[in-house]
Structure 1
Amino acid sequence: MFAAFDVSDSRSANWRRIVVSGAIAFAIVVAVFFPTAREVASIWWRSQTFAHGLVVLPIVCWLLWGMRGDLATIPVRPAWSALIPLAMAGFGWLIGESASVAAVSHFSLAGMLFSAVWVVWGHALTWRAIFPLTFVVFGVPFGEFLVPNLMNHTADFTVFALRLTGIPVFREGNSFIIPSGSWSVVEACSGIRYLIASVMVGVLFAWLNYRSTRRRLLFVIAAFLVPLVANWLRAYMIVMLGHLSGNTIATGVDHLIYGWLFFGVVILALFWVGSVWREPDAHASNDLSGTAPISRAASAASIGAACLAVFASTIVWRPLESWLTETPGAPAYQIDAPAAAPGWQAVADAAPTHWTPTFVGERSRLVKAYRKGDQTVTLFIAYYAQQTSGRELVQWDNRLVTAEDKQWRMIADESAAIADIPVRHNQVLGSPDRVEIWSWMWLGDRITADPRQAKIELMKDRLARRQDDSAAVLVYALQPDSATSTKPLVDAFVREHRTEIERVLRATPRY
């Protein structure tokens, strides 16, 4: 397979050796973990936020091609010690798959791609190509956890700027009303797309145009901060255009057009300013014509053995993951409605609100209303067991309000406590209802409102081969107005029904 490499020690021959051996190492990891690689590629294809991932691998190849003159002077000498980071990345993938944390699986895949090439190429060659090889990290779909904070900051700035302009504003969560109309900062307004794309291109620009670490770091910081501020100004500009025009412009498709035009101008200005301080000869040579001898490369047998070692070090994780995810459980699941406590009455008709949470993949679901006097609360339970991707308690699709929902919007999201239970307190506003929600996650003998803690507990259950039964528990009620909280009502309901709720949760598996 590598016999042709022994014909000449010229740069061209060594470059061919580099390309073929690196491609084989890359292909081994992609083939072994093809489901994860396909999942990443599908996210690139369907998500506008991560569409930049489609150009990451072409950029990596382009960067390596541009460095071919320098890389060709360094021989391929497999680094067997690099099998350690390769194994660590494989274990990270196992943890990510076992706990159904896609980001961990995806970053681990990127780590395995880098480590596999490192094993085959060796220390010197990998270090010389460190930037192109690590650039693959930008292909990992990561950053959506920033969206809520980015939305809050965008709303904060927009409201502050409007008030500074002299426009009165009434704000509820990320929605606000001004004299000319109402506005909401939704996920598309968070600026996450601008931020991720700007940082990726900024890192590439800095590496290509600067040599000093200081200049590179300063430009990357600018590439992070400028899109944040630009998105805030964009949101304020859109609201002002709508306000000053009597809502005749910047309220439909032109809302997006104006926003993208403004952002494009700002980013172009950033890179124009950055080019003023460009340092010459900041990139490597692409000349293969040199005839200077290079050190002797490893034998074809050694390179082949390194490729086999990469395959052996990666293939072990797939069957181990399959064994761990075979979680024991019951053949059937059915949640019984908790019996009403004294003073409460189970209501036979539907819940008294038009809002319902979005949960998918549950084994069983319960929605039950309870009345005390003229006040009503609704208990919602989504029960999960033998969890796999798409059928798990903590996943992106399990949400109180989806991005596609045009009727309901989130106006409050905070940590709280009900009946001495840590909960998440949310408020959603729609037409005609205002709903207050108190939620937590039941994990058998544990309760938490933190999804990260829930994922850790799931991982522990998987590694210990225990049942992973868990549930999302929500108690919600209609708010009569913005000034009246339902907390006293919900607190009383949970205190009087907590034991009964936990009893029916434990009885849900049917053996």
Structure 2
Amino acid sequence: MTTLTYKADHHWRFSPILWGALVVAAVAVYLIFQDGVHLMVRWWQRDEYSHGYLIPLIALYLIWQRSDVLSRIRFDGSWVGPAIITLGLVVGLVGELATIYTVVQYAFLIVLYGAALSLVGPTAFRIIAIPMLILFFMIPLPGFLYNNLSSQLQLISSEIGVAVIRLFGISVYLEGNVIDLGGYRLQVVEACSGLRYLFPLMTLGFIVAYFYRAPLWKRLVIFVSTAPITVLMNSFRIGVIGVTVEYFGEEAAEGFLHDFEGWVVFMACFGVLFVEMWLLLRITGDKRPLSEVFAIDSPQKAQENEDTSARHLPTPFLSSVALLIVAVFGAASLAERQEIIPEREEFVTLPKELGGWRGRVEIMEQIYLDTLKLTDYRIINYTTDTEFVNFYSAYYDSQRKGASIHSPKTCLPGDGWRFNEIETHAVDGVTMGGKPLIVNRVLMTKGDRRQLVYYWFQGRSRIITNEYAAKWFIFWDALFNNRTDGALVRLVTPIREGADAAVADERLQEFTKELSKVLPEYIPG
């Protein structure tokens, strides 16, 4: 710090004008990003993001801890701040037009960072940058990333949990994320994936690393270790449930499942973090007690004989406030932009007879409907005298507010099926909405059983096979066509023991030809 910026015997206080400018800036930022902020707060009601309410308070507390140092630094502002605000506003505009609220929420934080830099200047910003960084932990993951991560953690937790059970010599069978203990079946669903504890523990790990008075590499180890700690603790919980079933019965297992969850698991993970800090000290020969290494200090009070001056209003911050006020009017003009929801036939009217195929409707359990958040769906088992095809389609009239299509890559493995072969495949002689139908062709196995799967993403006059391309076109079409509707279509047929997969291909091609005659009425182009 230079002597022009920092004076150890001088205390700066906020003037009424500066307070007023701060209030105006805060109100403007809220008005610009209110939709994204409201959605973020609603997501905090979910268990895995329930810590979000505390994060702004924690960030303010961490900044307050350094208030004694900040009060001795003159705030000259920085012109980099308005540039960062402009970047954030552009990102927010793209997110708003594309109706992707995760982008809007990150833009909100970019603008906050820019506003802070334009006010305090680079010297003070270096002090508050890390406390402000914690704000990123209050933003929920994008839906497709959350779904993929949840599915993978379910499978990992299941496999490790089964390994724990087998250590006790207990016979157990694992099918995807379903653990079969004979008379008791435990399904490791989304709530048991470990995400419930992962995000809060990562936040806590970040805070612990911030206060940990140790080299940077030790702090990084503490933070990075939160993920494996969460998964291992959750797997241990699953393993103990299996052992409890074997030796104490199902009722005892249900009681343990109820008691050993939520904050109990979280606090156990928290305890492991402190043990890890202690071990890092001992391994590296650091003799300091843990109370000295992990200490939370309070700011020192100003001395009575210190000079005190009112802070002036930095010109970069004044420019930032003006920029934000202009952006408020721009955001208001976008508020009237409504997403287009095209008309369509509901799946309930989808024919149960297609050519020579006769169908029987299946109903999805509510637990899965709550997870998928779809608008409409249909599951029909079509049969002939000798053949079988399972049809499933999930339709979303909007994919902007935390709801998005779940790929079979994340769903089917959870039921124990494994992807052996996957390739894009043109279905001969079949068009969908006037375009050649290209699908993902997947050969799957589950023990000795085999099945062939065709699936694709359809909507807005597009047939797409790549999950990430589908996400890109959601963004593109939302930006230029104001639409995010779309559907997943999946066809599954079994492959008889010893039969060639080509026979199953012929079966699906025959069925798809019949389906293509009616499906466009249910999935708008």
Please report the TM-score for the alignment, with normalisation by the length of structure 2: 0.75
> Are the counterparts in 1 of residues 12 and 309 from structure 2 also a CA contact under 8 Å?
no
Unaligned runs of 5+ in 1: 1-8, 403-408, 429-433
1:41 and 2:44 correspond:
no
Identity %: 17
When residues 28 and 450 of structure 1 are mapped into structure 2, their CA distance, relative to the original with a 3 A threshold, is: same
> Are the counterparts in 2 of residues 25 and 307 from structure 1 also a CA contact under 8 Å?
yes
When residues 57 and 286 of structure 1 are mapped into structure 2, their CA distance, relative to the original with a 3 A threshold, is: farther
Match of 1:475 in 2: 491
Secondary structure of the structure 2 residue equivalent to 1:49: helix
1:221 and 2:221 correspond:
no
Instruction: Read off the aligned partner of 1:28 and give its amino acid letter.
Output: A
Matching of residues 266-345 of structure 1 within 5 Å: 266-271=269-274, 274=277, 276-277=289-290, 278-279=292-293, 285-289=299-303, 297-299=311-313, 303-313=317-327, 315-317=329-331, 319-320=333-334, 323=337, 326-327=339-340, 344-345=355-356
Instruction: Read off the aligned partner of 2:37 and give its amino acid letter.
Output: A
> How far apart are the structure 1 equivalents of 2:320 and 2:213?
35
Deviation at 1:365, TM superposition (A): 6.5
Match of 1:6 in 2: none
> Are the counterparts in 1 of residues 13 and 311 from structure 2 also a CA contact under 8 Å?
no
> How far apart are the structure 1 equivalents of 2:243 and 2:520?
55
> Are the counterparts in 2 of residues 22 and 120 from structure 1 also a CA contact under 8 Å?
no
> How far apart are the structure 2 equivalents of 1:321 and 1:308?
20
> Are the counterparts in 1 of residues 176 and 417 from structure 2 also a CA contact under 8 Å?
yes
Secondary structure of the structure 1 residue equivalent to 2:417: strand
Matching of residues 111-510 of structure 1 within 5 Å: 111-142=110-141, 144-145=146-147, 146-179=149-182, 181-210=184-213, 212-249=215-252, 251-259=253-261, 261=264, 264-271=267-274, 274=277, 276-277=289-290, 278-279=292-293, 285-289=299-303, 297-299=311-313, 303-313=317-327, 315-317=329-331, 319-320=333-334, 323=337, 326-327=339-340, 344-347=355-358, 350-351=360-361, 353-355=362-364, 358=369, 362=375, 370-382=382-394, 387=398, 389=400, 394-395=404-405, 410-412=415-417, 414=419, 416-417=422-423, 420=426, 421-422=439-440, 438-443=454-459, 446-465=462-481, 470-476=486-492, 491-498=505-512, 501-502=515-516, 504=518, 506=520
When residues 93 and 281 of structure 1 are mapped into structure 2, their CA distance, relative to the original with a 3 A threshold, is: same
Instruction: Read off the aligned partner of 2:29 and give its amino acid letter.
Output: V
Secondary structure of the structure 2 residue equivalent to 1:88: helix
Instruction: Read off the aligned partner of 2:152 and give its amino acid letter.
Output: N
Residues 126-179 of structure 1: CA distance to partner in whole angstroms, max 9, x if unpaired?
222112212111111237342111111111112223333322222211112235
Secondary structure of the structure 2 residue equivalent to 1:496: helix
> Are the counterparts in 2 of residues 384 and 470 from structure 1 also a CA contact under 8 Å?
yes
Instruction: Read off the aligned partner of 2:356 and give its amino acid letter.
Output: Q
Instruction: Read off the aligned partner of 1:288 and give its amino acid letter.
Output: A
> Are the counterparts in 1 of residues 400 and 484 from structure 2 also a CA contact under 8 Å?
no
Please report the TM-score for the alignment, with normalisation by the length of structure 1: 0.77
Match of 1:83 in 2: 82
When residues 239 and 212 of structure 1 are mapped into structure 2, their CA distance, relative to the original with a 3 A threshold, is: same
Mean CA deviation greater in 308-317 or 14-23? 14-23
> How far apart are the structure 1 equivalents of 2:41 and 2:482?
33
When residues 114 and 493 of structure 1 are mapped into structure 2, their CA distance, relative to the original with a 3 A threshold, is: farther
> Are the counterparts in 1 of residues 78 and 119 from structure 2 also a CA contact under 8 Å?
yes
When residues 462 and 103 of structure 1 are mapped into structure 2, their CA distance, relative to the original with a 3 A threshold, is: closer
* Total equivalences in the alignment: 478
